Amino acid sequence: MILTLDQLYHKMLKTMGPTHWWPANSKTEIIIEALMIQNTNSRNAERAAALFRQATTFDPAKIAHLSIDQLERLVKPAGFYHNKSRAVQKVFSWLATDHFDYQQTAERLGNNLRPALMKLRGVGDETADVLLTYVFDRPSFISDHYARLLFTELGIGGISNYQSLARQVQLPRTFSLQDAQEFHGLIDEFGKVAFHPRTAFKKSFLSGDQLRLAPK
């Protein structure tokens, strides 16, 4: 079956049910988890996030006042703790400019929000789009590893890295913020099953479908 992006989303939502992503109690927790998950698995990222919860209750002001030594101890289970601790320090120092009012930051920067995020240490394309979608309430397509695998299986060519897929995808105008958040969650939950091993996709409910992307 030939599917549009909107039809793919609704087929996944109907078959799988809502995922309620991102599963966190606050936007500050999402920021920490988004930084911790880089170059590691979810278990290690969750261990580091749990330490942040114990030490700060995810109070952004408390996180911003942690020393590098303190941050490194909290980050350590997620690996790359020298770089990640400095990324946390930089991001929360930047957020402190607007007193951790994420909506105010989004309104102040307008269309410059994503470029500003990309200038922060430890924030690349994927993390920037995660923060846009789940912290700053700006619907974005997150072309992460599972998205690239899925879209390749659905017949989209020319996918070699994050930007090579992101350049091809325009979320439908009908997508709400919740739709954008759910779409990412559905893709990742699907990927955990359908791509371990990758051949498992052939037995999935999307096997045999083809995706047709609207021109950007």
Q: Are residues 82 and 170 in the same domain?
A: no
- Sorting pLDDT into bands at 50, 70 and 90, what band is 214? confident
pLDDT in tens, 194-204: 999 999 999 99
Q: Are residues 41 and 101 in the same domain?
A: yes
Residue 216 forms part of a structural domain: no
Q: What is the pLDDT of residue 24?
A: 94
Q: Facing residues of 3 across strands?
A: 211
Instruction: Give the amino acid at 36.
Output: M
Q: Are residues 123 and 204 in the same domain?
A: no
Q: Are residues 70 and 40 in the same domain?
A: yes
Q: Which of 97, 114, 134 is at the close of a domain?
A: 134
Q: Are residues 75 and 159 in the same domain?
A: no
Instruction: Give the amino acid at 124.
Output: G
Which CATH number covers residue 102?
Answer: 1.10.340.30
Sign of CA pseudo-dihedral 103, 109, 143, 121 = negative
Mean pLDDT, to the nearest integer, of 4-32? 97
Mean pLDDT, to the nearest integer, of 9-16? 98
Q: What is the pLDDT of residue 153?
A: 98
CA-CA distance, 68 to 199, in Å (whole number)? Answer: 44
Asked if residue 216 has pLDDT above 90, the reply is no
> What domain count does the chain have?
2
Q: Which of 134, 158, 177 is at the close of a domain?
A: 134
pLDDT in tens, 77-136: 999 999 999 999 999 999 999 999 999 999 999 999 999 999 999 999 999 999 999 999
Q: Which of 115, 134, 153 is at the close of a domain?
A: 134
Residue 207 forms part of a structural domain: yes
Residue 122 forms part of a structural domain: yes
Residue 203 forms part of a structural domain: yes
Q: Computed over its alpha carbons, how large is the radius of gyration of the chain?
A: 18
The parent domain of residue 64 ranges over 27-134
Residue 75 forms part of a structural domain: yes
